[in-house]
Amino acid sequence: QVQLVESGGGLVQAGGSLRLSCSVSGRTFSRYVMGWFRQAPGKERDFVAGLNWSAGSTVYADSVRGRFTISRDTAKNTVYLQMNSLKPEDTAVYYCAADREGKYVSSRSRAYEYWGQGTQVTVSS
């Protein structure tokens, strides 16, 4: 019912920037929550940032606050993750996720029903 497609990943030097996009298609409810997660090899999938689509409110993990910005374009049904001042420890596969009918942003991956395929972000030192 809901499809998510990420794009924008790549290889960048430490201190550089990338902008990830997540296109949302299919049927959606009037209110839902979008989140970005990342997973490095051999590690847990961790919350990065999230937003309440209708309210525009945002939540960030401590590790990215001040460097990353999550935003939405309602006309394009797209959520973005602007990543600045990238560090090698940001290297991971980044996933967007949707919590249909969500009232608030959750940092728990299990709260999200729909997931994109992931896009690789590699930050070199």
pLDDT score at 107 = 95
Q: Which residue has the tokens 């960048």?
A: 12
Residue 29: its pLDDT value, please?
64
Residues 29 and 61: their CA atoms lie apart, in Å, by 26
| Surface-to-core class of residue 106, CB atoms within 10 Å of its CB (0-12 exposed, 13-18 middle, 19+ buried) | middle
Q: pLDDT (tens digit, 9 = 90+) per residue, 23-37?
A: 999 876 667 899 999
For a pLDDT cut of 70, what percent of the chain falls above it? 98
State the chain's mean pLDDT as an integer. Answer: 94
- pLDDT per position as a tens digit, 39-62: 999 999 999 999 998 888 999 999
* The pLDDT of residue 113 is above 90: yes
Task: Check residue 5 and give its pLDDT.
Answer: 96
Report the helix count and the strand count for the chain, using DSSP H and E.
Answer: 0, 11
